[in-house]
Chains A and B, each alone.
Chain A
Amino acid sequence: MSVNKVYNRIESITGNVITVRASGVKYKELAQINTRFGKSLAQVNKIEGDIVSLQVFAGGQGVSTGDEVRFLGHEMRVSFSDDLLGRIFNGSGEPRDKGPALTENLKPIGGPSVNPTKRILANRMLRTNIPMIDMFNTLVVSQKLPIFSISGEPYNQLLARIAMQAEADVIVLGGMGLKYDDFLYFKDALSKGGALSKTVMFIHTASDPTVECMMIPDMVLAIAEQFALQNKDVLVLLTDMTNYADAMKEIAITQEQVPSNRGYPGDLYSQLAARYEKAVDFADSGSVTVLAVTTMPGDDVTHPVPDNTGYITEGQYYLKGGRIEPFGSLSRLKQNVNGKTRKDHRALMDAMIRLYSSYKETLEKKNMGFSMSRWDEKLLKYGNLFETRMMSLSVNLSLEEALDLGWKILADCFEKDETGIKSNLTDEFWPEG
């Protein structure tokens, strides 16, 4: 074994990838490279005879052919303990806050997939106190859901709110290509909201090297998996997976891989799926739930990143105009849980969505200048109330409060029999007066 064997000659430097002549090097092994700007990690990603290619975490800029490369004899690992809670790290696993580096109990990242026979059917609701989620597209423990969004939407604010309010034991946040002010916002919001002590953050900002961006999801998910195996319900928040895919694209092109669709590598689906499938509910242990922001370039859902994501995940939240859209959004697992919350949940959800869809049609008619009937007027009033009191992202209500509010909105606008809800439910839940 060539542990700590040192090489002083770099054969080639292309983008973030360097090659050295070395022997006894293992595939995916880490190396440390000393450049004039300091030390950086590098990972083996191809071996051809004695030519070893490495991707340099800090990037290829300023790397000299005479720089020293030292192989470390192990793969990328991350330290796991309760000391992680409240801490912030970068894509190389080094502290981003002022705390000490953690080196104990190192766990490999990007580990094998869970045996499907060891999974259990997702059947527990994960409360967020956001009515558009809890009531209309319930999030389920161990679900994997992207938040489809266009640039400029408040998706990071939404994630921060979910982090603060969600019923999870541990939150692991992964930032990829995050703007520095968004990073500060997360730090600030979580410490003000009191959730920092149960949160671990791995942050790659837009100005950090690309290779580090690619490490973030694996680090985050390795940590989440370890907490889950300690019987914790873990919520993983990732933002933004499109940046992650773009980092993969950059590296693949640098290494002259044949691109498949709009420049993305052919294994984009497998790479994304390997990460999302880390969402799991372990039989007799904890769980990992994944919410991941996926920005859609040009609001185009057929772009390769949201498209492949849609095939992998169990639905999506569609953030548009600062609200979670009830029509584009879908939680495929909601029917596993919303039948056992409160008996009016499903019926009220269906009725409110149906009426909201009628409101949208009426709004269209109104905009085209048609005259409004009495029924149209009722729908307009309803749509307005629904949007301001229910859909607005600032609304913060428990599921039960949201259901009660739903009945109140209906009663403000309609007669019982106009709602299309079965009469045994309206008899019981219709607000008096």
Chain B
Amino acid sequence: MTDNKGKVVSINGNLVSVQFEGNVSMNEICYVYAGETALKSEVIRIRGDIAQVQVYEMTDGIKCGDPVEFTGDMLSADLGPGLLGQVYDGLQNPLPILAEQAGWFLERGIYADGLNTEKKWEFTPTAKVGDTVRAGEYIGTVPEGPFTHKIFVPFNLLGSYTVKSIVEKGEYTVKETVAVITDERGREIPVSMSFKWPVKRAVKCYSERLAPVETMETKVRLIDSFFPVAKGGTYCTPGPFGAGKTVLQHTTSKYADVDIVIIAACGERAGEVVETLTEFPELIDPKTGRSLMERTIIICNTSSMPVASREASVYTSVTLAEYYRQMGLHVLLLADSTSRWAQALREMSGRLEEIPGEEAFPAYLESYIAAFYERAGYVRLPDGSTGSVTIGGTVSPAGGNFEEPVTQATLKVVGAFHGLSRERSDARKYPAIDPLISWSKYTSVIDNEKLDFCKGILHQGDEIGSMMKVIGEEGTTLLDYITYLKSEMLDAVYLQQNSFDLVEANCSKERQRYVTDKLVHVLGSNYNLASKDDARGFFNRMRQKFIDWNYAEFESADFKKAESDIDELYLHGEGKLSAQAEKLLKGGE
């Protein structure tokens, strides 16, 4: 805390103007006093001796002349062991601790440390006295759940340092000094297991940024095969309400092939967070055999919590993600929903009386969205290992119309687009990602040529389907009708996936490849079908067999049995592999 003080001169919603003396910096944190209660706030504009601050709480009861204290610090996150498994609000206050202090409600002006300062952690030094270290290099480790948590030289120290002393292996709290390092001029700097980092600045303590090429498995077939996401990549999921954005993210948070998942519930329903909180501690992470909660951090600033801290919550989340990336871990950040974050920007912009852009969003909306997604990445760390932050954001476009500023600004910067459609969700086709409008720039888990073959069938099927609406089934040729049935079958047995069934929801890439080959075989064959009724009957039966197959554990006896049922039906239909499919399948071997 600096001695810098000010006083309130105007109040408009959560925007308060403060007359100050001395120096104030942009984005500095200050406390506005409403009576005895100090309310955390952030400087967002400075003009002459007036600073405009956004208060992270309700501003009721503040009056002109009320004192303001400036801290000299920017909004920061506490980084150190003990973040995993936590449930924070947007300013990194642990919600269970707030509940202990304040009871049912989130009373304003109550803040708590992001890290438990009393818990002792078993520290093992890895640096020796005399070693030269830089910011982002580690001097020791601590076991945290299933991970080895690295203790870093704080990211904000510039230049190189010499280790002057370091403690023995033993138990320490996050605030105790575990090492003393000296800078080039011999100044001593104590280092503990935790430090602060300003959340709006990206952590850049890595050697180089690599291209995101490794596919991040989500176990959702439609994503991994058709519209994949890469580790260190970005993707967005826009869709109207009720299309299943949150359910899709929930599934991804359970099954994604990453080390750590950070869920940023940004301006959405509290009930959904309660669902995760109830469910996750009970679920087992197949990779570590431990509770799913041990690899999860929840940052929860639900819709009725103050808007300014909603804006901060996405930055807090991405900072924690970058911190774990620095340990050589793969982190997935799921933000639901980025539109609510953009709306928080819009509310503040309106109060600041800035000239509005499209739909009253501020002119800097695009650059803010781009800067946020740019914090994703696959990096090589100083010790040669690699780590990544992958960002997936949902977008809630007004009226489900993608031609709106947030969706459009997001599409410019992400590497994959999973567009959810009202038609698919109304038809109960889940996940409701529309295969005809979605795209991805990343590498699929299945072979590209097979993927193109499947996409071709979908597009042809769609064209024939729309034509059939005009000319009726009678006017469609048998050949076209069969193509249509094939595309319907592909949709039903591969694109749609039941996220509530344990086997079906968790479809590995090996299985996806295996099933795709079978599909190329079945869809790439000609059959002896005399009429449309015959054809419909045949593909209905085939569809049912594939669905049964999907529900069987991979490579189990049931799986083999269901597969042989498919083969039998194939023979029964006198299937003959087309030359195109034959070539595709050969190429894959």
Establish whether residues A270 and B307, one from each chain, have CB atoms under 8 Å apart when the complex forms: yes
Chain B residues contacting A304 (CB-CB under 8 Å) are: 398
Complex Cα distance A185/B10, Å? 46
Chain B interface extent, by class? 35 or more
Chain B residues contacting A369 (CB-CB under 8 Å) are: none
Binary flags per residue of B534-553, CB closer than 8 Å to A gives 1, else 0: 00000000000000000000
- Chain A 252-278 residues near chain B, CB threshold 8 A: 257-261, 265-267, 269-270, 273-274, 276-278
> Smallest distance from the beta carbon of B206 to chain A beta carbons, Å?
34
Asked if A321 is an interface residue, CB under 8 A from chain B, the answer is no
Most buried by A among B104, B305, B353, B398: B104
Q: How many A-B residue pairs have CB under 8 A?
A: 162
Binding-face segment, B145-153, B265-273, B502-510: B265-273
Chain B residues contacting A11 (CB-CB under 8 Å) are: none
Chain A residues contacting B104 (CB-CB under 8 Å) are: 114-115, 118, 229, 282
Contact of A113 among B62, B304, B401 (CB under 8 A): B304
Establish whether residues B350 and A261, one from each chain, have CB atoms under 8 Å apart when the complex forms: no
Establish whether residues A75 and B61, one from each chain, have CB atoms under 8 Å apart when the complex forms: yes
> Smallest distance from the beta carbon of A292 to chain B beta carbons, Å?
15
Which A residue's beta carbon lies closest to that of B340?
A269
Asked if B390 is an interface residue, CB under 8 A from chain A, the answer is no
Establish whether residues A307 and B399, one from each chain, have CB atoms under 8 Å apart when the complex forms: yes
Which B residue's beta carbon lies closest to that of A315?
B242
Most buried by A among B60, B107, B240, B273: B60
Asked if B108 is an interface residue, CB under 8 A from chain A, the answer is yes
Establish whether residues B274 and A120, one from each chain, have CB atoms under 8 Å apart when the complex forms: yes
Assuming the A-B contacts A26-B61, A116-B273, A119-B270, are A277 and B303 also in contact, with contact meaning beta carbons closer than 8 angstroms in the complex? yes
Chain A residues contacting B58 (CB-CB under 8 Å) are: 112
Asked if A111 is an interface residue, CB under 8 A from chain B, the answer is yes
Assuming the A-B contacts A258-B350, A273-B303, are A314 and B241 also in contact, with contact meaning beta carbons closer than 8 angstroms in the complex? no
Establish whether residues B96 and A117, one from each chain, have CB atoms under 8 Å apart when the complex forms: yes
Main secondary structure of the interface of B (DSSP, over half): mixed
Chain B residues contacting A282 (CB-CB under 8 Å) are: 104
Asked if A310 is an interface residue, CB under 8 A from chain B, the answer is yes
Which A residue's beta carbon lies closest to that of B268?
A311
Establish whether residues B273 and A310, one from each chain, have CB atoms under 8 Å apart when the complex forms: no
Which B residue's beta carbon lies closest to that of A330?
B242
Establish whether residues B340 and A302, one from each chain, have CB atoms under 8 Å apart when the complex forms: no
Asked if A48 is an interface residue, CB under 8 A from chain B, the answer is yes
Assuming the A-B contacts A24-B65, A47-B10, A302-B400, are A115 and B105 also in contact, with contact meaning beta carbons closer than 8 angstroms in the complex? yes
Which B residue's beta carbon lies closest to that of A47?
B11
Chain A residues contacting B240 (CB-CB under 8 Å) are: 310
Asked if B589 is an interface residue, CB under 8 A from chain A, the answer is no
Complex Cα distance A259/B240, Å? 22
Complex Cα distance A81/B62, Å? 29
Chain A residues contacting B271 (CB-CB under 8 Å) are: 119, 121-122, 142, 314, 333
> Smallest distance from the beta carbon of A297 to chain B beta carbons, Å?
13
Complex Cα distance A183/B571, Å? 71
Most buried by A among B87, B398, B426: B398
Complex Cα distance A258/B273, Å? 33
Establish whether residues A24 and B63, one from each chain, have CB atoms under 8 Å apart when the complex forms: yes
Assuming the A-B contacts A259-B360, A302-B400, are A116 and B303 also in contact, with contact meaning beta carbons closer than 8 angstroms in the complex? no
Assuming the A-B contacts A26-B62, A273-B303, are A302 and B399 also in contact, with contact meaning beta carbons closer than 8 angstroms in the complex? yes
Complex Cα distance A282/B108, Å? 20
Chain B residues contacting A267 (CB-CB under 8 Å) are: 307, 343, 347, 350
Establish whether residues A28 and B61, one from each chain, have CB atoms under 8 Å apart when the complex forms: yes
Chain A residues contacting B273 (CB-CB under 8 Å) are: 116
Chain B residues contacting A142 (CB-CB under 8 Å) are: 271
Chain A residues contacting B241 (CB-CB under 8 Å) are: 307, 310-311
> Smallest distance from the beta carbon of A309 to chain B beta carbons, Å?
9
Chain A residues contacting B107 (CB-CB under 8 Å) are: 112
- Chain B 333-380 residues near chain A, CB threshold 8 A: 340, 343-344, 346-347, 350, 353, 356, 359-361
- Chain B 396-424 residues near chain A, CB threshold 8 A: 396, 398-401
Asked if B581 is an interface residue, CB under 8 A from chain A, the answer is no
- Chain B 286-338 residues near chain A, CB threshold 8 A: 300, 302-305, 307
Establish whether residues B343 and A27, one from each chain, have CB atoms under 8 Å apart when the complex forms: no
Which A residue's beta carbon lies closest to that of B356?
A258
> Smallest distance from the beta carbon of A138 to chain B beta carbons, Å?
15
- Chain A 347-381 residues near chain B, CB threshold 8 A: none
Binary flags per residue of A308-341, CB closer than 8 Å to B gives 1, else 0: 1011101100000000000100101100000000
Establish whether residues A25 and B63, one from each chain, have CB atoms under 8 Å apart when the complex forms: yes
Establish whether residues A116 and B302, one from each chain, have CB atoms under 8 Å apart when the complex forms: yes
Asked if A346 is an interface residue, CB under 8 A from chain B, the answer is no
Establish whether residues A121 and B64, one from each chain, have CB atoms under 8 Å apart when the complex forms: no
Chain A residues contacting B346 (CB-CB under 8 Å) are: 260, 266
Asked if A433 is an interface residue, CB under 8 A from chain B, the answer is no
> Smallest distance from the beta carbon of B522 to chain A beta carbons, Å?
26
Asked if B98 is an interface residue, CB under 8 A from chain A, the answer is yes
Asked if B9 is an interface residue, CB under 8 A from chain A, the answer is yes
Establish whether residues A115 and B95, one from each chain, have CB atoms under 8 Å apart when the complex forms: yes
- Chain A 9-42 residues near chain B, CB threshold 8 A: 23-29
Establish whether residues B274 and A115, one from each chain, have CB atoms under 8 Å apart when the complex forms: no
Establish whether residues B343 and A270, one from each chain, have CB atoms under 8 Å apart when the complex forms: yes
Chain A residues contacting B157 (CB-CB under 8 Å) are: none
Chain B residues contacting A29 (CB-CB under 8 Å) are: 61
Establish whether residues A27 and B60, one from each chain, have CB atoms under 8 Å apart when the complex forms: yes
Chain B residues contacting A327 (CB-CB under 8 Å) are: 426
Asked if A387 is an interface residue, CB under 8 A from chain B, the answer is no
Establish whether residues B11 and A27, one from each chain, have CB atoms under 8 Å apart when the complex forms: yes
Complex Cα distance A267/B304, Å? 12
Chain B residues contacting A276 (CB-CB under 8 Å) are: 304
Binary flags per residue of A94-126, CB closer than 8 Å to B gives 1, else 0: 000000000000000001111111111110000
Chain B residues contacting A116 (CB-CB under 8 Å) are: 87, 95, 270, 273-274, 277, 300, 302
Asked if B102 is an interface residue, CB under 8 A from chain A, the answer is yes
Establish whether residues A48 and B12, one from each chain, have CB atoms under 8 Å apart when the complex forms: yes
Which A residue's beta carbon lies closest to that of B17?
A48
Contact of B305 among A24, A113, A307, A330 (CB under 8 A): A113
A-B residue pairs in contact (CB < 8 Å), sample of 23: A25-B64, A27-B60, A27-B62, A46-B10, A49-B10, A113-B270, A113-B305, A114-B106, A115-B99, A115-B102, A115-B104, A119-B270, A119-B274, A121-B275, A260-B360, A266-B343, A267-B307, A267-B350, A269-B303, A269-B340, A270-B343, A270-B344, A307-B241
Known: A47-B63, A266-B346. 12 other contacts (CB 8 A): A26-B62, A28-B59, A28-B60, A29-B61, A50-B64, A112-B105, A113-B305, A117-B99, A119-B274, A274-B304, A282-B104, A311-B396
